[in-house]
Amino acid sequence: MGSTPQTLPGIFRHWSTTHGAQRFCTFLQRGAAETITFWDLAARSRGYAGALRSRGVRPGETVIVILPHSPHLFYAFCGALAAGAVASFMAFPSPKQDRARYVADHAKLFARIRPRAVVTDETSASALREALDALGIEVIIAGDALLHGDADEAEEIEPDDDAVAVLQHSSGTTGLKKGVMLTHRAIFAHARALNAALGITERDCIASWLPLYHDMGFVACFLGSLINGTPLVALDPFEWVARPALLFDAIEAHAATLCWLPNFAFSHLARTVPAGRRWDLRSVRAFINCSEPCKSATFARFAERFADSGVTPEQLTVSYAMAENVFGVTQTPLGASARVLRVDGDAFLAGRVAACDGGEGARTLLSCGPPLPGVELAVRTPDGDPATGGTIGEIHLRSPFLFSGYDNLPEQTARVLRDGWYASGDLGFIDTGELFVTGRVDDMIVVNGRNYYAHEIEDLLNDVPGLVPGRAVAFAIENRVADATGVAVAVEGVPDADDQTLIRLVKQRIFDALTLTLGSVSIVPRGAVFKTTSGKLDRKRNQQAYAPTPFEESM
């Protein structure tokens, strides 16, 4: 990779020139497979670049891509890069999401981040155009007509290595999304580190169902394939949720070697794939679990369920990752089971780690592995001192590929990025050089690999008719049906309000804003939401009182 171009538009032009006929992606949808070569990718992206430039997009301006699963996701994104723009994926609205609210929330966000253009499909274009016209944002409808673009406008731009290449937007309330700015230099430095940890070569093949607006699907899978010239087998996330076995069909058919999955996906596969079906999954060098708390029990279930398909515990690895470090921070070694540590439960709840042999109350923690080459980790107390003597503290990191800040949010950037170190907000400890993640400093809840903040959920309920403003509390629960983490709320209703109506209103409000389905809603009497003596919501106590199932905090 050393002699290849070190910018994103440079690299896909390079592969187009040197390996044009080589497969970039096999795109799977509704039983059909479309092969996209590097030549196809470069040519079609050039078409988009011309179209974007002819609509006024200039180098350094931001282009947002909001599309359902389609090869145009790749072409529009790479087209924006080829035009010298800063490219960013955002989630396409769910069919059940209120479109008017989706558009209003995005208009609010776009008023802050000021993209020059939004590329979307025809079902969303007119509503977005109506909302974004006043902001001077072009809304462009994706489609085959753009693949040929305007040749005169398709001049090739080679950005500076230190220019911002992409924005990765955080999940959560749309209007509050933070755009993580990543330069070409950071993205390529990260790729070198991840490649070293995983031993990635051009003989690898990545299978993914992950959406591209999520860092795991975006960086590990899409950008990984783009930078390394390795093929990507891309499934439709929507189809995968309903037909999880499609992933194994794809792995077997393409002899895929790498597969990133959040913990819930391991669980979803183990629970839903019909008994008796077998595949040859021996080609996989690593299934990589990250983006949410990784559980040893989930690994054990997955390994046992798919042992007859060739899955071994040694294939199951763990990574700690975040958009602020491009993606990967740590990675457990390949070819060995991720290390499991049993710690005393009482000490753990008191914020300390004391190894034990098991027994009542013991917590089982799964290692996230050592840091990637070049990444430094520090675990600190709230005062900023090193957390020593088995104390759990906040994980800080420094690396050659740390983000440049949050787009247009200098205060939020300054809050977390100090003296070259990023304060992750995650809690954990380091044991014999390996990182263990144990929780969060704040009220963030990870559901299906996406991050939600309890206070944002509570704020969204302030204007729901029939609820007492300021008297809603959100907390994590176990979703026992899906074997995953979920979110529940307890809310105080006004007298005579119909509980069933309120529950529907609350669930719809949160789904429209966050595409999060609440696991349960408890309508509680006036004054029944617990607050601390200082008047803040007491989430722990509310969780204990209103969670339908007990919630385990450990991994």
Partner 1 sequence: MSSERSAVAQLVITAVVRTFRVVDPASIDEQTTAQDVDGWDSLSHTMLLMEIETQLRCDLPLDEIYLASNVGELVDIATRARSASQT
Binding site for partner 1 (CB under 8 A): 95-96, 238-239, 241-244, 264, 268, 271-272, 274, 448, 479-482, 484, 486, 500, 503-504, 507-508, 517, 519-520, 548
Place of tokens 């005062």: 383
- Burial profile 96-110: b = 16 or more Cβ within 10 angstroms, e = fewer: ebbeebbbebbbebb
d(CA 159, CA 9): 8
The residues pairing with 488 across neighbouring beta strands, listed in sequence order, are 475, 520
If the CB atoms of residues 219 and 446 are measured against partner 1, the closer one turns out to be 446
Type and span of the H or E element at 192: helix 184-198
Nearest distance from C-beta of residue 550 to partner 1, angstroms = 15
If the CB atoms of residues 476 and 484 are measured against partner 1, the closer one turns out to be 484
Type and span of the H or E element at 319: strand 316-321
The DSSP output letter for 412 is: H
If the CB atoms of residues 286 and 523 are measured against partner 1, the closer one turns out to be 523
Provide the greatest CA pair distance for the chain.
71
Task: State whether residue 466 is helix, strand or coil.
Answer: coil
Nearest distance from C-beta of residue 547 to partner 1, angstroms = 11
Nearest distance from C-beta of residue 506 to partner 1, angstroms = 9
If the CB atoms of residues 251 and 447 are measured against partner 1, the closer one turns out to be 447
If the CB atoms of residues 330 and 479 are measured against partner 1, the closer one turns out to be 479
Nearest distance from C-beta of residue 519 to partner 1, angstroms = 6
If the CB atoms of residues 47 and 217 are measured against partner 1, the closer one turns out to be 217
d(CA 499, CA 493): 8
For residue 267, give every residue at least 6 positions away whose Cβ sits within 8 Å of its Cβ, in sequence order, or none. Answer: 298, 301, 302, 482, 483, 484
For residue 327, report the phi and psi dihedrals to the nearest 5 degrees.
-165, -85
If the CB atoms of residues 32 and 242 are measured against partner 1, the closer one turns out to be 242
Nearest distance from C-beta of residue 193 to partner 1, angstroms = 32
Q: At what angle do helices 8-18 and 72-82 cross, to 10 degrees?
A: 110
Nearest distance from C-beta of residue 284 to partner 1, angstroms = 22
Type and span of the H or E element at 380: strand 376-380
Q: How far is CA 275 from CA 207, 250, 271, 279, 294, in A?
A: 22, 18, 9, 12, 24
77, 89 in Cβ contact below 8 A?
A: yes
If the CB atoms of residues 276 and 410 are measured against partner 1, the closer one turns out to be 276
Nearest distance from C-beta of residue 507 to partner 1, angstroms = 4
212, 235 in Cβ contact below 8 A?
A: no
If the CB atoms of residues 95 and 359 are measured against partner 1, the closer one turns out to be 95
* Residue 227 in tokens: 């930078």
For residue 5, give every residue at least 6 positions away whose Cβ sits within 8 Å of its Cβ, in sequence order, or none. Answer: 11, 13, 14, 158
Nearest distance from C-beta of residue 263 to partner 1, angstroms = 12
Nearest distance from C-beta of residue 419 to partner 1, angstroms = 41
If the CB atoms of residues 228 and 298 are measured against partner 1, the closer one turns out to be 298
Nearest distance from C-beta of residue 56 to partner 1, angstroms = 36
If the CB atoms of residues 154 and 474 are measured against partner 1, the closer one turns out to be 474
Closest residue by Cα to residue 325 from 206, 215, 452: 215
Nearest distance from C-beta of residue 499 to partner 1, angstroms = 11
d(CA 483, CA 271): 9
488, 522 in Cβ contact below 8 A?
A: yes
